[in-house]
Amino acid sequence: MGLANIIGQILGWGLIFMACTAQGLSKIVLFFDPASIFIVFGGTLAAIFVAYPMSALLNIHKCILITFTAKGRDPLKMIEQVVSLSEAARREGLLSLENHMEEIDNPFLATGIRMAVDGMSPEVVESIMNTEIVAVDNRHAFGKSLLDNGAKYAPAFGMMGTLVGLVVMLSDMNPDTVGSGMAVAIITTFYGALVSNLMFLPWGEKLRFINEEEMIEMEIMLKGVIAIQSGENPRIIKQKLLMYLPPSKRPVEEEGA
């Protein structure tokens, strides 16, 4: 998943570079203006600082890093683990899952199984696990809002930079420098659109996709724990959990079920 982000960034920036140098490599200098960079990046960052508390901003780099490092989830593997635990519970009893805790590498699933083994009622287990799901979803939504607002602010500051450039150009109108002055003024809008559409917006959408996958996996674990605690047949549990997957991702033998 993170690899797709890296490939997309390389492809996107590469195509932009090719477009900027289509008339010659020397033309790349026309697209570099330090003042415009400061206005777009600095202004966007300043606006985010105004909109959010400092404690939240300290984690913005984590939101971006996740889009590069997140690995694709395998809900089918999680279903198989839940079914395996249900078979052990049915064969040896619910308390026997205490001996299988080391096999569970997902903290959320381990917490659910631990509560079930400790004798908590299914209602309490479901309530606690649902609370954790909502908390994770809210954290991810907050991170996405940071990136979405960055995508909203960047073009606005790009336009501000263009207006600043136009004011400077018009204050010293010279027919010989109008063209170059206009180019410098417009470049800030270019930066704003680039930052918004190649960085913040795609990163926000990637976070949304990552969150959706994690929510499905957590829901699978929740339903699996409750089913195990209720003593349901492992085959029925598997059929129920497979319904969370699209038909194309279900085992072949289950497609006709």
Give CA–CA dist 219/208, Å, rounded.
16
Q: Which domain holds residue 114?
A: 33-257
Angstrom CA distances, 179 to 31, 39, 121, 185, 213, stand at 14, 21, 75, 10, 50
Domain count, the chain: 2
Give CA–CA dist 191/41, Å, rounded.
9
Residues 88 and 115 in one domain: yes
pLDDT, one tens digit per residue, over 74-131 is: 899 999 999 999 999 999 899 999 988 888 989 999 999 999 999 899 999 999 999 9
Residues 125 and 170 in one domain: yes
Residues 173 and 100 in one domain: yes
Residues 134 and 12 in one domain: no
Residues 91 and 134 in one domain: yes
Please tell me the least confidently modeled range out of 109-113, 127-131, 167-171, 201-205. 167-171
Q: How many helices (H) and strands (E) does the chain have?
A: 11, 0
Residues 26 and 47 in one domain: no
pLDDT reading at 172 higher than 80: no
- Mean pLDDT, rounded, for 31-48: 89
Residues 133 and 19 in one domain: no
Q: Is the pTM of this model over 0.85?
A: no
Residues 172 and 111 in one domain: yes
Residues 149 and 46 in one domain: yes
Predicted pLDDT at 255: 46
Residues 80 and 11 in one domain: no
Residues 9 and 24 in one domain: yes
Residues 10 and 121 in one domain: no
pLDDT reading at 254 higher than 60: no
